[in-house]
Structure 1
């Protein structure tokens, strides 16, 4: 009898006794109930209900009262999601696989109990914006919380399914409870404490560093401001946070400081550094937390002892630049670096006439 369902699966019409069984169904509907045909009707009905996703109210000899299977279309209609979203929920839960992508929404069949469980959970999920509002978290802080995995997405593999971030209230409440477990004392008027964003700014650190300190129980001053709620209620001591997060000073001078140290224009100094004439190393900026080039005073002193710019020579000898340049040309002293190369003319001190 299942072979008779072929036309239904290959078509687009709604399920019904006549669609499935044709004249056989008409004959059984008209047959009297006192000649043994009732048992045959029960068999046909049970086979149909066990394989076809009938909507309640559909008549298969008698009206269908309970749904046994959901389709993408029926689940979408019942739970109020777009069919595309319903497919993604079903695939994420393992109810269907990618082979169902080529099957129409009316013909993807799933057990009703599994669909009800998955879709009931999904109906309670919050979108990214709703979850942030639920926790009353600032946008940047919330981005850190989700990116660093302090709270997980409700659906694993949602990125691969191109499903927007969704979060369960249970997980959000759990995150807030874990944070509140580290509150050290009650908030009092006059406490000079700061919110997460103010603390990050004043301590020159990242939100993730503050959260790590909080969850590790390393902060001794954590309070909740009763005038607000959620994550925005947390108040911290920036000085205490800074004592944990402040990085050591850089082992050298920044480019601006180094240019000032050797008395050079910053553009000229940068070109000399880019050419490798002035050596440098990479270090972490303790404020901006990014890698940057630094210069040791020993390297800068070595450069100053080895080279002189045309401008510096003119200043030292109290002569015009063109006069210094003429005298050096007459003495056949070649520049070590020309204006075209680094933006200024430099000579080796060892080549200068005494």
Structure 2
């Protein structure tokens, strides 16, 4: 009995994940330990049940595979193949498992929930190094690699982050809606507070704060609703409650019961700034990694560099930006909010 397999790692958008440490195990036995190549490949293998194939036949099978293919032997043909990723703290986390399909060729694709993001960012290697050190000391989740650079150029760098369970859950939930039009300016949307309050948002309204509220609620966090309007405050039975807007998220003294404030971004943070636009109080979204955010734009939910653009500008670009009216220029996030249950890192 034999099986031929090739193993590949991809992200949630089916892009290959390179330089990812992995292990392949079966029945508790380590078969292969290594790092994926630039195409996310973890190798090709001939699996043989001990005593069922002659060595000459196995050599022929291996000879027809790509150079460097290996032969793996098993005494447990029914046990599944297990594919692990390795963390900075040398922990193993199971990413994929599958049964062996004997006398067949199989392509095993281990898919992570992460998305590789191409952006024109200026990397801060010192910040990345400090962040990786701090995060590994607090939780040791797997390092996630993002390609950052302008497509068509050779100016690519790497941003590596280590994400704990709750921030990862927030980012995973937000990433599910990448490209969604449910929070678009032209869309009508309702949301419901766990206590029973309902709030309708009509078409022709900005909904970046609603996106943040809905993602946090889906991730299992309770977001306090705010009373708006003089009548609502004076007459308790005439309440006009709504999820917090960008201004509340960008103000350290507000939402302070459950949300800490920081000037340093971490994955999973809510980032916000406040500006008195005609139809909004600012902008708010989630930090994927420093320099990369996901938030509701006017048309779709976008992964981009909103909230980090001014920092990347040249001195000349910054001067030109500052000369614009406040409502017409780019703004960076001024505050990052972290749920108090998340360890400081």
TM category (shorter chain) comes to under 0.3
Q: Which has the higher helix share?
A: 1
Structure number with bigger Rg: 1
Q: Which has the higher contact order (CA 8 A, sep 6+)?
A: 2
Q: Which has the higher strand share?
A: 2
TM-score with structure 2 setting the length: 0.24
TM-score with structure 1 setting the length: 0.24
